Structure 1
Amino acid sequence: MKKIILTISFCTSISMLSAQVGSNTNAPSKHILTIENDKALEQWLKENKIPNLGLGIIKNGKLEKAKVYGELRKGIPAPNNTIFNVASLTKPVTAMVALKLASEGKWDLDEPLYHYWTDPDIADDPRSQKLTTRIILSHQTGFPNWRFSTPDGKLAFQFDPGTQYQYSGEGFEYLRNALEKKFGKPLSQIGEELIFEPLKMKDTSYIWDQNTDASRIANGYDKNGKKYEIVKRRTANGADDLMTTVSDYSHFLISVMNGSILSEKIFEEMKTGQIATQKGKYFGLGFEIYPLGDGNIALSHGGSDEGVQALFVIVPKTKQGLLILTNTDEGAKVYEKLLIDYLGEDGRKVVDIEMK
């Protein structure tokens, strides 16, 4: 049975759930993320029917806390190295693969990708020659999110590339194909060599293989507590289904905010808005950009699949960040409280932008 890939934006999640969270009398008092209040947080999660919550707290550019709450199985507390499927939080990782290659002079962000790959569905459309990595990373391809959601199930342009914003997982899969064709190896291997090994992300992978520890996988649940089937992807998807832990992905985010694996030029391009999306925010190269005032920005991305709601917000200037991983369709209801509680005024500004 084909997995349904959802695309509920951070905006939609916040808009739908903020009233519910804001009026929740069971919500813990402020500063719930402190170690002393872990017990209160566990109770809050039970009341909100969140089976597992993974929190990565970044302070002063360092990982202050990486913890997983709830039970992995009945009677078995979730270990802090629980492995989560993070849905579209895969996209920033794929983006960093391309940006790392560009930093090394091995990949040109503005080179037409038809030099390496053209999808058969659009081979006869001359607009295919306009596609570049920059256009893909900023979601300006003109593609739908997924081709299987269209009437004929084929990939086609819905507008000219580079002229509008439209979120697309297909774009990142297009980039994967181009990278694999040029470098002659699968994205799973490229990502391992360029990102996972250097950052010591030993529990992170695009694919399910013999090294996957099934005993640490967080099952996904629907709103009624029914389990979804675990996704066991054997080949990488550039947009979806990365498996990782709170600690691993938090260290990835620290490298992103510090620009530690990128050249200075590429790092600045990554943080620069390529196209306005809505409500005064932008998409850069792989990351959504929230202006916070006085030249300060937050970088963010969300993920939403069956049994997955995930989000991160990092602030490069202050070296603060928050990673939120959940394994339920209901997970987005905790976003607003956690963002404001930990990131304070910056978290409030991000929420306010989404609520405009």
Structure 2
Amino acid sequence: MNQLKQISIVYILLFITMSGISFGQTNSEFIRVPDGRNINVFKLNQHIGKAMDSIGVPGLSIAIVNNNKIVYHNTFGVVNNKTQEPVTKQTIFEAASLSKPLFAYFIMKMAEMGKIDIDKPIYPYLKAIFPTGVIAKESFEAYQTLTPRIIMSHGTGIPNWVKGPIKIAFKPGTDFSYSGEAYQHLGAAFGTKLGIGWGSALDSLFLKEAAHPIGMNKSFYTWNDILENHAAKGHMKGKVNLEMHRDKKVGPGYSLQSDAQDYALFLIEMMNPKNIKKHTRDEMLKEHNHFKPDSKLLKETGQTGWGLGFAQKPTPYGMMHLHTGNNQDFQAYTMFIPDQEYGFVMFGNSDNLFPLLETIEQLLGEHF
């Protein structure tokens, strides 16, 4: 009897050892993609590894959601291509513009709590601290009409990033103009309204009310000791950039640091909300800014509009909600299709992540 027990234990240990290739990387041997196919995880890992080597992507964090659960999370490559320090499950990446949808979620949670009205102009919260000359004289009246809803759906008419006085291109709420700059104003207005500013105190509120309740413990808008120890280094044209973005202020348009597993929890919340009300989630995913027929995005990508945080693209499998991120030496991408309970997110520490996405699509099917 004792011998049989020993043999059983040996077989169990052998099974665990042989399963080690995917243990900790995924909860499933196969992943279901939106077109209904099941993709072998081992094949996916091989495909990504070869593509990264071919394209020259230094490091990657990637996660996939099936049935509102993270079924795949893996990391590849290096934090720094000089030191060859490997990317691990603890490595954190700049999320770039993937900062925006998560900050929109935070604002919507605050709206539920009565701390902000998304249809009231933000200017009254800013006028006491507003330096003269920030807004061009001819645009000042239009600026005073900007609301969180208009900002989160990119209807402000403000350019993406601005040097010099801000000029508003059209009557707010009547057209589309993607703007990270406008998100910065929203963050400053909200922090000022609460009397806490837009530094680490605003980040702490985000963690308490938005991130931690859905399990996100590796996502921050301002620099801290965790990031000091676990942040990846960016790369441009194959060369490592040792200059880190140690942001002391919340940058709703760009400063989020996260990883694929943490961000996948946000995608799950968007598909199966637990921390916000369902009607709040529905409001976020509803189209608030429909692209005009001559829209460049419509013509080039098939995207048709913007909700409160995410772009929208109809697919044969349901509406895709998506967002790209590009801080140059860091790039990121995410999408999810609620009808399929499917989500995808990837973070890279280089300027060539999107050719990798195109190569991954050769295996997984259309994701952008």
**TM-score for both structures, normalised by structure 2:** 0.79
Displacement after TM superposition at 1:80 (Å): 1.6
Structure 1 residue 272: deviation in Å? 1.1
Match of 2:6 in 1: none
CA-to-partner distance for each residue in 1:322-347, whole Å, 9 max, x for gaps? Answer: 101111111110112324533x4xxx
| Paired residues for 1:1-356 under 5 Å | 34-35=41-42, 37-73=44-80, 74-118=83-127, 119-120=130-131, 121-122=134-135, 125-148=140-163, 153-185=164-196, 186=198, 187-209=202-224, 211-227=225-241, 229-277=243-291, 278=295, 279=298, 280=302, 281-293=304-316, 296-339=318-361, 341-342=363-364, 344=365, 348=366, 351=368
**What do residues 14-56 of structure 1 show as CA deviations (whole Å, max 9, x unaligned)?**
xxxxxxxxxxxxxxxx987713552443232111101011111
C-alpha separation in 2, matches of 1:75 and 1:116 = 47
Query: Conserved in 1, the CA contact under 8 Å of 2:259 and 2:347?
Result: no
The 1:216/1:115 distance shift into structure 2, 3 A limit, reads same
Counterparts of 1:292 and 1:310 in 2: how far apart (Å)? 21
- CA 1:189–1:123 in structure 2 vs 1: closer, same or farther (change >3 Å)? farther
Structure 1 segments (4+ residues) deviating >6 Å: 30-33
> Displacement, 1:96?
0.5
- Higher relative contact order structure (alpha carbons within 8 Å, sequence separation ≥ 6): 1
**Partners of 2:203 and 2:316 in 1: CA distance:** 38
Uncovered stretches (5+) of structure 1, i.e. residues with no partner: 1-29, 352-356
Segments of 5+ residues of structure 2 without an aligned counterpart are: 1-36
- What RMSD, in angstroms, separates the aligned Cα atoms of the two structures? 2.2
1:180 is paired with a residue whose SS is helix
- Cα 1:123–1:184 shift into 2, 3 Å: farther
**Aligned mates of 1:321, 1:289 — CA distance in 2:** 14
Structure 2 Cα separation of the partners of residues 93 and 231 of structure 1: 19
Structure whose alpha-carbon radius of gyration is higher? 2
Of stretches 218-227 and 63-72 in structure 1, the one that deviates more from structure 2 is: 218-227
- The share of aligned pairs that are identical, in percent, is 29
Shift of 1:228: 5.0
Corresponding residue for residue 7 of structure 2: none
CA distance in 2, matches of 1:321, 1:109: 27
How far 1:63 sits from its partner (Å)? Answer: 0.6
Q: Cα–Cα, structure 1 residues 77 and 239, in superposed 2: closer, same or farther, change >3 Å?
A: same
How many equivalent pairs are there? 311
Paired residue type of 1:86: A
